[in-house]
Amino acid sequence: MQHSSGYFATGASTFAEAQVEKLKLIASKLQLRPGMTLIDVGCGFGGLPKFMADNYGVSVTGVTPSDSMAKTARNHCCRSQVTILQQDWRKMEGKFDRITVIEMLDHVRKQNYDEFFRKIQSLLKPGGRVLLQHYAMDPGHFHFTEFLCKYQYGLIYFSTLSDVVSHASNYFHISNVHDISCDAEETYKHFIDMVETNRDKMTTLAGPKVWKAFESRMPWRKVALNAERSRPTKPSWFARMTREGLH
């Protein structure tokens, strides 16, 4: 399962379809070709590495610091041209034609942005491309970060779009910024519905305490989605950028 926002603009009607359309969009922006090498920084359960390897003939390395995610990703990708590494992003090595960073930057934190983008630059071959997907938060909504740190994700930092661009542009030429905030809204409508439909199953698997903490996030999501619909402009908090960097 992928937790990141999908892409509904091409006609997807379900969460799963939107995830596939998102992956196709990423592949298109990266202009993937058979034989290329790609590293997915923050690969989660291996959805993107497997999709790109199976459908575009690229050799993919996925990186995650999580032991459980790495094990699941290896099982998921065992028949694909994918290598999963369990390590911190600071330990990454090698040279790659393409790099993806999908909703992982909020775990890096702003004070480490220069170190992070410098590392990404060191991994990229000449003429390579980087695609970064990120939640860009409106400055007026940073109090939600405190809530999510306490109840959901641990230490995170949802930065503004200008923060990300100003740091990334020191290391890359930013050729495209793609606002898919409407797709983020639609993704979380589907996500909330799936969670509420599977409430009993999730409580059994994770336990009442974990479910209670997770459930506390749901009203916040609903309020945020309603606020999005009531405003004449898109809050940058829900705007995510797709960044294609050429260096």
Least confident window among 124-133, 163-172, 229-238: 229-238
What kind of architecture, by CATH, is found in domain 15-31+103-246?
A: 3-Layer(aba) Sandwich (3.40)
Are 150 and 213 spatial neighbours (Cβ–Cβ below 8 Å)?
no
What is the radius of gyration, based on Cα positions, of the chain? 18
* pLDDT tens per residue across span 199-222: 888 889 888 887 777 766 665 454
* pLDDT tens per residue across span 8-46: 888 888 988 989 999 999 999 999 999 999 999 999 999
What six digits make up the tokens of 101? 């960073």
pLDDT category of residue 145 using cuts at 50, 70 and 90:
low
Percent of the chain's residues with pLDDT above 70: 78
Residue 237 has pLDDT above 60, yes or no: no
Query: CA-CA distance, 102 to 120, in Å (whole number)?
Result: 13
- What 3-state DSSP class applies to 166? helix
Look up residue 12 and give its DSSP letter.
-
Residue 120 has pLDDT above 80, yes or no: yes
pLDDT at position 96 is: 96
* pLDDT tens per residue across span 51-63: 999 999 999 999 9
pLDDT at position 141 is: 57
* Average pLDDT score over the chain: 80
Start-end of H helices in the chain:
15-30, 47-56, 67-76, 113-123, 143-148, 161-168, 181-197, 199-206, 208-215, 217-230
Q: In this predicted model, which residue has the larger pLDDT, 136 or 142?
A: 136
Residue 245 has pLDDT above 50, yes or no: no
Sheet holding 96-102, edge to edge: 82-86, 59-64, 37-41, 96-102, 124-136, 239-246, 173-177
Residue 226 has pLDDT above 60, yes or no: no
* pLDDT tens per residue across span 56-107: 999 999 999 999 999 999 999 999 999 999 999 999 999 999 999 998 888 8
Write down the domain spans for the chain. 15-31+103-246
Rounded (10°) CA dihedral 220, 195, 202, 153: -40
Query: CA-CA distance, 129 to 243, in Å (whole number)?
Result: 9
Residue 243 has pLDDT above 60, yes or no: no
Beta strand 239-246 with 124-136 is antiparallel
